[in-house]
Amino acid sequence: MTDDILISGDGPVAYLRLNRPKALHALNLPMCEAITAALEDWRADTTIEAIILDHAEGRGFCAGGDIRMLADSGAGDGNDARAFFATEYRMNHRLFTYAKPIVAFMDGITMGGGVGIALPCRYRVATENTKLAMPETGIGLFPDVGGGWYLSRLPGRIGQYLALTGHRLNGAECLALGLATHYLTADRLDEAKTRIAADPQAVEATLDELSAPAPDAPLLAHRDAIDRLFAADDLEAILAALDADGGDWAQVQRATLATKSPQAMKVSLKLVLDGAQMPTFEDEMRQEYAVAVHVVQRPDFAEGVRALIVDKDNAPRWNPGTPAEVSDHMIDRIFAPLPAGEEWTPN
């Protein structure tokens, strides 16, 4: 279907290998379609006992989705963007609900859409090369692909902190937060894959045996500050708390938030707040699809992609320009359910 992903199913282990190294394996529509189709083929295939999800070469596991296409579509009729989101989210949901064990090797950059394909997997392997983040507020988007579900289930207010700042987690931090199930040094990955292929019934035992002691997780040193300064579900209150603190760490976070889209930050806070109460992952994806359909055609997304990805001037001109200008009514409109017949469905 596409050379951008290598799919094979020899023996009891099947393989999904991302293969767009020049784009850090960012997902496009054919890749999402191919992954979903392969999972469906393997679902009832009794010879397939486990699945390995990794990348072919390069320093990224998966850097995200096809952002430029989404921005171009959003600037027009939005049809291609809606088709991509619908397909990507079906793939995310299929991974989340899959009965057979899937092992994701998050060796390298794992961001945005890469988080969306790694975190649903039963086993998630981090390494010293892992850099995991949901940096969407920097391009006027929000942590989608299930971000509302995963971030809302992290300890304390860490989910809110990550959603707003886009902070990059290393492998040790991923393990400490439960986003990774195992920490292996990168030089043990080939051995792990070989042993899983030889005995897929012993995936967990293999990963347990090959795991290395993870270094300290630096983020946890700031846990008290995160819980205190990001305690509110109101963006203005968080900004006020950071301003009032005056400490070096708080000032760095405040400066970071000053670069993000005010609209995207308010959307992200509500997403995490709502995500904690979502009955199922399907409900989460249905809401995220409605939000994505609305956000992708708003000015901030096109402007964020222009500033950070196209022109690379890193000087986005957000509209609205301040948190105060992002009204509750605007957020309600972004979160409004889609009309019957346009809603996201898992199949």
User: Which residues does the annotation mark as catalytic?
Assistant: 65, 113, 136, 144
CA gap 199, 141 in Å, rounded: 42
d(CA 69, CA 63): 15
Displacement of CA 300 from its chain's centroid (Å): 19
CA separation (Å) from 22 to 25, 60, 63, 251, 253? 7, 10, 11, 36, 31
Q: How many CB atoms lie within 10 A of CB 345?
A: 12
Residue labelled with tokens 């486990």: 50
3-state secondary structure of 116: helix
d(CA 255, CA 242): 10
| CB-CB neighbours of 54 under 10 Å | 21
- Give CA–CA dist 87/58, Å, rounded: 26
What is the radius of gyration, based on Cα positions, of the chain?
20
Q: Distances from the Cα of 104 to the Cαs of 16, 86, 122, 235, 337, in angstroms? A: 9, 22, 8, 34, 32
Specify which residues 124 forms β-bridges with: 104
Compute the distance between CA of residue 338 and CA of residue 342 in angstroms, rounded to an integer: 6
DSSP 27-94: B-HHHHHHHHHHHHHHHT-TT--EEEEEESSSSEEE--B-HHHHHHHHTTT-HHHHHHHHHHHHHHHH
Q: Which two tokens stand for residue 223?
A: 């846990």
Nearest to 143 by CA among 307, 260, 271: 271
Count of positions (residues) in the chain: 347
**Cβ 121 vs Cβ 91: under 8 Å:** no
